[in-house]
Structures are given as C-alpha cells and as structure tokens.
Amino acid sequence: MTTSQTPPYHFFQGNSPLLISIPHVGTDLPPEVADGLSDAAQPLPDTDWHLTRLYDFAGALGASVLGARYSRFTIDLNRPPDDKPLYATATTGLYPDVLFDGTPAFRPGATPSVERRAWYLSEIWRPYHEKIGDELKRIRQRFGHAVLFDAHSIRGHIPRLFEGELPDFNIGTNEGKSADSGLAAKLAQVCDSPGYRHVVNGRFKGGYITRHYGDPANGIHAIQLELAQRTYMREALPFDYIEGQAAKVRPILKRFVETLLQWSPRRL
C-alpha cells in the first residue's frame, strides 16, 4: 500500500513545457482487489501495457513524465471523482466492475467495500491529480504555457465500445475545447504516416484528464492519444511487446512528442 515515502505514481521532472501522463500503465493491486478479481480480469487485460517502455525517450527530450503504479481495476485515474459517465456509449467507471468487453471484473460478492474504494480515491486518485495540477502550475509559471499529453493504448477491436477496427492513432482534444486547433492539426500531420490511420476526436475525444485540465484560454493545452495496441504489442495474452512493430511506430511517437515540446502559442 502507499505510504508518505511511496507515492502512488512514478514521476520524472523534465525541463520543458510538456507533461506526459500515463494513467493506465499501473499493475499494482491492493490485496482485496487482487483476491477478488475474476479469472478473466486476473491477467489485467485492459491495462495500457508497455507504454513506459514505448515512450522511454521522453525524459531525455525534456518532458516531465507521470505514470500510475496502481491498476485501473483498483481505481481509474482517467474518470471523474463523482463517476459521472464521460460517454453516452458503453464505457467503464471510476471503479471498473466489468472489462471492456462486458465480462465481470470481480467474482460475485468480491468487489471491494465502499470504505476501501473511498480510500483508493483519497490515497491513489487524489495524489495523482494533485501531482498533475502542481506540475502544470509549475510549468506554466516557468514557460508561460503548459502542454499535457495523456498517453493511452487500447485493443483495436472491442465491439462493446466501438464498431469496426479502431484507427492506429486516435487524437482527442474534447472536440477542440482542450487544446489549440493548430496544435491538433500539427499532431495529425505527424500521424499521417504511410501504413497507419489516424483520426481527431473520433470515438475517443479525451477522458477526464484531458477534459478537466485542458484550458487553452489560460495557457494549458491538453491532448489525449489512444494508440491501437497492435502497433507495438500482442493484443491477446501474454500481451508481449513486439520489438519489430514497436520499432516502426516509435519514430512517429517521438515526432509526436517533439511536436508537443516545440509548439508554443506565441508562435501562432
């Protein structure tokens, strides 16, 4: 469990206007969550696997990087604290009780108690968001603006959540409300690479982090990228990182991050 010496996240502070948040990469589980998960959920199938590895160049470029320690099956850091749904279509909540495909995440009667879930909110969710807020404040004070990149990945085919096959790069700016449209256009150009498909504000327009922190009028621009996992890993068990696939997509992701680093509202 977390202590004052062990925050519920990993953090590296950079020296640029960019903060990268990776809220679904965590795999730690409190004992009561680990003991209660269903057989289908035990392998943690809805995790954003290997994203820390995929973006391991970001710190050297100057970005600050914040990553979750705890699994989204404990608490989802990209959902609002009141658990208000973000999409009218099928989704999962602050305390996911089902997998993306609708399979129960916990054995009958084994979901964590209300008291334990309140603890997760207080000791896991809130510290993560306090860190985002503090770092964005520090960055904006130093550079005059801040860019928040919320990095995600997902299986490319989940009929419960969306029809057909998801594009490779899914950029979200909450329909243009969370980031400058010119920045979104530059990022779309980066993703317009041979052999890949992209979309801006398609099925995934940005979750709570993008929507809550994105405030272009006050110098904070937030972008979400939902990356199809087929571009770098095996989407089924054992969820292996595929070096050959990753080597193809990483240069595009590096240009994506470099674009975020180099962009400034003063250059419009």
Residues 149-184 have pLDDT tens digits of 999 999 988 887 878 899 999 999 999 999 999 999
Gap between the Cα atoms of 123 and 4, Å rounded: 10
Predicted pLDDT at 84: 84
Res 88: pLDDT:
57
Does residue 57 sit in helix, strand or coil? coil
Q: What is the mean pLDDT of residues 128-143?
A: 98
**pLDDT above 70 coverage of the chain, percent:** 96
Q: How far apart are CA 102 and CA 201, in angstroms?
A: 24
SS3 95: coil
pLDDT for 3 beyond 50 = no
pLDDT given at position 87: 66
What crossing angle do the helices spanning 243-262 and 181-191 adopt, rounded to 10°? 150
Q: For residue 139, is pLDDT > 70? A: yes
Question: What confidence tier does 268 reach under pLDDT thresholds 50, 70, 90?
Answer: very low
Residues 245, 172: Cα–Cα separation, whole Å? 23
pLDDT grade for 1, boundaries at 50, 70 and 90: very low
Q: Looking at the predicted structure, is the pLDDT value of residue 2 above 70? A: no
**Per the structure block, which two tokens stand in for 119?**
């603890």
Question: Rounded mean pLDDT of the chain?
Answer: 94
Contact indicator for 187, 114 with CB cutoff of 8 Å: no
Do the bridges between strand 146-154 and strand 9-12 make them parallel or antiparallel, or are there none, so unpaired?
Answer: unpaired
Tokens of 162: 């969306």
Quick one: pLDDT band at residue 250, thresholds 50, 70, 90?
very high
- Checking if the pLDDT of 124 tops 80, the result is yes
Q: How far is CA 9 from CA 2, 126, 149, in A?
A: 10, 11, 16
Please give the pLDDT value at position 219: 97
The pLDDT score that the predictor gives to residue 164 is: 85
pLDDT of residue 162: 78
